[in-house]
Amino acid sequence: MPLKCKSIQALDDICQTQWQQLSAGNKYDATPFLSYPFLKALEQTQCVDGNSGWLSHHLVIYDEDAINKNTIVAFLPCYLKTHSYGEYVFDHAWANAYHHHQLPYYPKLVCCIPFTPVTGSRMLINQNIEITSQEIYQWLAAHSESIIHAAGASSLHYLFLPEHDSSELAKQKTKQTLLQRLSVQFVWKNDGYTDFDEFLAKMTSRKRRSIRKERSGVYKQGEDLQIKRFTGKDISKELMQDFYLCYQQTYLKRSGHTGYLNQAFFHQLLEQMPDKLLIVMTFDAGRCIASALFVYDDKLLAGRYWGALEDISGLHFECCYYQGIEFCIENNISTFNPGTQGEHKILRGFAPTYCYSNHHLLHPDFHHAVADFLSNEKIAMQRYKEQAESVLPFKQP
């Protein structure tokens, strides 16, 4: 099938009929983040576009023989970036090297879900066309240079791809290979547990005692403390407002700004995809003092948003980790991604897990320099993962 690619600057450029034809190319790797409501909320609330430094530049792939019929084969969420924030695959050193040599690194073209370091499909495929994601990635790899030129960018970056998609891009023999980069996150896997105690039973006795002490210690810091979980229709506008206040205050305290995502974005998520949201909220005498928001489906729970109005020892771990684990066990969800970084997660049962990204820099000298850097970084990442695995709290077989 001859393919052709064009860019669009808004999801509205794809009509409703075309959207209905699109479904996740590999349903196992699909997440709620690669959905029209989530991506549209980012655009409509100007978390992207506007003055955000993210400019929507989505790639739409057509069947060239049927282009006059507007037959979309695939869609990839892409953005032109004027900075490197909100991606969580860190390339500031690359940008600094370009700047040192008086070359522009920005804008760059990034295929990702903004502000969402969660591995998953980055492609929607027309369910009525017989074509695989691997075939499309092969085509993208062969045409990456022309895609970058057409965007007026310095480079192209695919972030948090499933391993097989990343490897498909990396193995293509093109003028400049799409370089594969490794990073490490800490992810919890559900081993068919029936309850939290069965999960703890897999740990050494010392680690079990430590976690039980940590959880019980939260409630000892206030007689009126309550922690509750809310999903779907039980999440009211008032609860979402309380969550956002916590989220905003914590961002202000840590970084001096109110967060990448604004109030309108979270309220639009509540309107458009409430069945994909979980809020864990802590009350003190009926007043919300801390909250965490998760996005989930039947396979994945992803925790990304947290905030607190008061400092209570262990409360972050309880709301963001232990409550999430319990929710996964109760709902038979296989994977819990609690967010990027954080080695403290290891002792709480989150195992080091590789994340994959791919990179093509137009400038050949910089592309080769980055290739050398990534080769050395890969060795360091492999050692780091091995070291992290060695301190997991589980009993040895």
pLDDT tens for each residue of 209-242: 999 999 999 999 988 999 999 999 999 999 999 9
By the 8 A CB rule, do 389 and 396 touch? no
By the 8 A CB rule, do 104 and 154 touch? yes
In the chain, residues under CATH classification 3.40.630.30 are 3-184+354-390, 191-333
Q: What confidence score (pLDDT) does residue 66 get? A: 64
Residue 345 has pLDDT above 80, yes or no: yes
Q: Rounded mean pLDDT of 142-170?
A: 96
Instruction: Give the CATH class of 3-184+354-390.
Output: alpha beta
Q: What confidence score (pLDDT) does residue 127 get? A: 85
Q: Can you name the CATH fold of 191-333?
A: Aminopeptidase (3.40.630)
Bin 166: left if φ > 0, else alpha if -120 < ψ < 50, else beta. alpha
E strands along the chain, which residues?
A: 3-8, 22-24, 54-56, 58-63, 72-76, 78-81, 108-111, 124-126, 155-161, 179-189, 225-231, 277-284, 287-296, 300-308, 335-337, 351-361
The two most distant CA atoms of the chain are separated, in Å, by 69
Q: What confidence score (pLDDT) does residue 25 get? A: 61
* pLDDT band at residue 256 under the 50/70/90 scheme: confident
Q: What confidence score (pLDDT) does residue 255 get? A: 78
Measured between alpha carbons, how far is 271 from 219 in angstroms, rounded to an integer? 33
Residue 67 has pLDDT above 60, yes or no: no
Structure tokens at 238: 């008032």
Residue 305 has pLDDT above 70, yes or no: yes
Residue 88 has pLDDT above 90, yes or no: yes
* pLDDT band at residue 251 under the 50/70/90 scheme: confident
Residue 65 has pLDDT above 90, yes or no: no
Q: Would you call 191 exposed, middle or buried from its count of C-beta atoms within 10 A (0-12, 13-18, 19+)?
A: exposed
Residue 69 has pLDDT above 80, yes or no: no
With tokens 């955000």, the residue in question is 52
Measured between alpha carbons, how far is 313 from 223 in angstroms, rounded to an integer? 15
b/e sequence 321-348, b meaning 16+ C-beta within 10 Å: bbbbbbbbbeeebebbbbbbeeeebbeb
Residue 20 has pLDDT above 90, yes or no: no
pLDDT tens readout for residues 263-285: 999 999 999 999 999 999 999 99
Q: Rounded mean pLDDT of 105-114?
A: 98
Residue 314 has pLDDT above 60, yes or no: yes
pLDDT tens readout for residues 324-340: 999 999 999 999 999 88
Q: What confidence score (pLDDT) does residue 253 get? A: 83
Q: Is 205 helix (H, G, I), strand (E, B) or coil?
A: helix
Q: What confidence score (pLDDT) does residue 26 get? A: 64
